[in-house]
């Protein structure tokens, strides 16, 4: 499901900005939970968005985090008891040694999380609301609900996605505690929410297309790729809105491999009509691969369908793309 979500962030106009806000507040929430509740849940896991790469979670380092958490909790309790008994006296404090597999330790971890869950949920709710307000500002900048309904639907899913990541983190944490009762309950809640979100992400593609009609009678689907003729060859652009000038259109390059990716004016005369471009089976073209962040060679495997999709083959396998995303033909 997260792969599907990432694809939507990249595809929908303004989606990348929403993803940046999501990542920003995911880090804020993680930091606040650690600071206020003293629990390191690591919401998002490997999906964490700070740009520094995190080490892959292994059973060994997860167990180390569990032991560190237990030590911190025991040290706090022991210090409190010692201060009460030895008021006014200097007492040398030592962190008690904790056996790694004792039932008491496991119970303490689970119980601690339960006691702090209300505070953690409050931290999440407050910051998610702040994130949604910033996302709404992006929506207004990107044309509002009328011109960009897909972005509005994507934003509506964010609250549930934050909550799903919280449930995933709870499950990972409780797995270390051995609290099977809590894990089963939260897993059922997580699975239900995940199924709902997956269905909603699937329907984003079915949101009614937003079109831009130009003075010469052509219609462009906002967010779809189109071939653009330049002195350096064919490059791919995505239409974002109509221009005030009848001979131009506002669009972006699909990647910085082609040029600057912010909105700019493009000449309509250089935008190729999709219906006039008919790649044939066996032809080879240049294509920008998001997965590799590079321009690769692909071979056409069939004629385009009525939606403009065509199956191609690269050195990594077969996949379908929009014909508008094909670059220069390889002779």
Q: Where are the domains of the chain?
A: 2-204, 211-330
Mean local confidence (pLDDT), 296-323: 90
Distance CA 281, CA 290 (A): 23
Within 10 Å of residue 314's Cβ, how many Cβ atoms?
A: 14
Distance CA 205, CA 307 (A): 13
pLDDT confidence of residue 20: 92
**Residue 189 pLDDT greater than 50, yes or no:** yes
163 or 299, higher pLDDT? 299
* Mean pLDDT lowest among 58-72, 113-127, 175-189, 296-310: 58-72
* pLDDT confidence bin for 302, thresholds 50/70/90: very high
Determine phi and psi for 103, rounding to 5 degrees. -60, -35
Distance CA 277, CA 322 (A): 11
**Residue 88 pLDDT greater than 80, yes or no:** no
pLDDT confidence of residue 264: 92
- Whole-number CA gyration radius for the chain: 26
Mean local confidence (pLDDT), 292-302: 93
CA distances from 168 to 53, 111, 123, 124, 319 (A): 20, 18, 17, 14, 31
Average pLDDT, the chain: 77
Contact present, 323 and 298 (Cβ < 8 Å): no
pLDDT confidence of residue 209: 65
* Mean pLDDT lowest among 41-50, 222-231, 321-330: 41-50
pTM of the model: 0.45
Mean local confidence (pLDDT), 258-287: 91
Q: Return the closest-CA partner of residue 7 out of 290, 314, 323, 319.
A: 290
């Amino acid at each position: 499901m997260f792969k599907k979500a990432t694809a939507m962030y990249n595809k929908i106009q303004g989606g990348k900005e929403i993803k940046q806000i999501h990542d920003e507040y995911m880090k804020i929430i993680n930091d606040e939970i650690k600071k206020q509740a003293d629990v390191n849940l690591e919401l998002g896991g490997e999906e964490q968005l700070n740009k520094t790469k995190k080490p892959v979670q292994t059973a060994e380092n997860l167990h180390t985090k569990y032991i560190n958490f237990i030590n911190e909790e025991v040290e706090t309790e022991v210090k409190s008891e010692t201060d009460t008994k030895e008021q006014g006296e200097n007492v040398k404090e030592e962190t008690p040694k904790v056996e790694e597999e004792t039932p008491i330790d496991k119970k303490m971890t689970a119980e601690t999380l339960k006691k702090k869950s209300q505070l953690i949920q409050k931290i999440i709710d407050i910051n998610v609301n702040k994130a949604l307000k910033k996302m709404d500002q992006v929506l207004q900048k990107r044309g509002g609900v009328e011109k960009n309904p897909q972005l509005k639907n994507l934003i509506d899913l964010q609250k549930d996605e934050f909550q799903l990541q919280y449930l995933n983190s709870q499950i990972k944490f409780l797995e270390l505690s051995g609290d099977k009762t809590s894990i089963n309950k939260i897993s059922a809640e997580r699975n239900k929410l995940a199924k709902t979100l997956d269905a909603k992400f699937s329907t984003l593609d079915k949101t009614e297309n937003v079109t831009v009609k130009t003075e010469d009678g052509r219609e462009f689907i906002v967010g779809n790729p189109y071939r653009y003729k330049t002195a350096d060859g064919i490059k791919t652009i995505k239409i974002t809105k109509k221009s005030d000038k009848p001979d131009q259109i506002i669009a972006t390059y699909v990647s910085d491999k082609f040029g600057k990716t912010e909105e700019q004016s493009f000449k309509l005369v250089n935008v190729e009509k999709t219906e006039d471009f008919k790649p044939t089976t066996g032809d080879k073209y240049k294509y920008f691969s998001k997965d590799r962040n590079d321009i690769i060679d692909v071979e056409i495997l069939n004629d385009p369908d009525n939606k403009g999709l065509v199956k191609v083959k690269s050195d990594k396998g077969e996949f379908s793309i929009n014909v508008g995303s094909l670059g220069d033909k390889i002779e």
